[in-house]
Amino acid sequence: MLALITFMVSTSEYVIAGILDKAATSNHVSVAMAGQLITVFAIADAIGSPLVVMATTKLNQRKLLMLSLCLMVLGSVLTFSLTGFGLLIVSGIILALGSGVFAIAAKTTAVKLAPPEKQAGAMGTVILGFSAAIILGVPIGRVIATV
């Protein structure tokens, strides 16, 4: 189940690269400017996710996973409902925090739930969700965006 959710979370993270031209057109900005969505996402993920995880160390893993998925839902709703490039960047920051926290929590949870001899396989299964998002999720997102 963690691998499937990881696939969905990661697809929302990576799909922007496959639809960058569409994002630029719909926001009336250049593709180079739309590329800043990826930069801002990466910075928010790299800096913000560890800070959120450190700030929530008292939460159990289940609650941390739920928090990260709530951030993903909030970011997705904002992406869908708000207009303007600046607000799209804000929603991207929220999505970055949600996906980054989920990535950390999912790997940790998988290892904690598995018996010692299967911990590496459990983490590998979660990581498979990330890989599948790049291989399958981005092209599927591109097809959906062109419909």
CATH class of 2-146: mainly alpha
What pTM value is reported for the model?
A: 0.89
121-134 per-position pLDDT tens digit: 999 999 999 999 99
- Between CA 39 and CA 21 the distance in angstroms is 15
Distance from C-alpha of 140 to C-alpha of 78, rounded to nearest angstrom:
22
pLDDT tens digits along 45-100: 999 999 999 999 899 989 999 999 999 999 999 998 988 899 999 999 999 999 99
Q: In the chain, where are the structural domains located?
A: 2-146
